[in-house]
Amino acid sequence: MQAMKKTLMAVAMSAAVAVTAQAEGVSDDVVKIGVLADMGGVYADICGKGCVTAVEMAVEDFGGEVLGKPIEVISADDQNKPDVGSAKVRQWIESEQVDAVNGLVASSVTGAVTKVLTDAKKLL
């Protein structure tokens, strides 16, 4: 479990650093990271609520901001369904100005979400 937390923190920090490179393009002056994870299914122990907590901890350790812009973490349950995951990410991008998404575990969800993020030129 400790190795998992370190890995998740590294992923979160990588996303935050990658977003730094695009900080000028942050639309609402907030770097928003979406964590899409399986909150109650077969992958919940791998990347469920613990994954969200790890990203929040990483943001806190990072100081809570990038280039003077605050970092905000939001999360959702993908239910291991590609249509649910891609719809949620599309909503995040269109309505909530999410800059990066992480936490994906199921390959089916990852594939669907990658298409949405690629089209929107957002980070995974």
Is 30 in contact with 69 (CB distance < 8 Å)?
yes
Q: Express each pLDDT in 13-38 by its tens digit.
A: 555 555 444 555 566 789 999 999 99
Point out which residues pair with 123 in neighbouring strands. Answer: 100
Q: Whose CA is closest to 102, among 83, 74, 81, 121?
A: 74
Euclidean distance between CA atoms 8 and 11, whole angstroms: 5
- The pTM (predicted TM-score) of the whole model is 0.79
Q: Express each pLDDT in 42-90 by its tens digit.
A: 999 999 999 999 999 999 999 999 989 999 999 999 999 999 999 999 9
Task: State the architecture of 2-120 in CATH terms.
Answer: 3-Layer(aba) Sandwich (3.40)
Please report, for the chain, the start and end positions of each structural domain, with discontinuous segments joined by +: 2-120
Point out which residues pair with 37 in neighbouring strands. Answer: 77
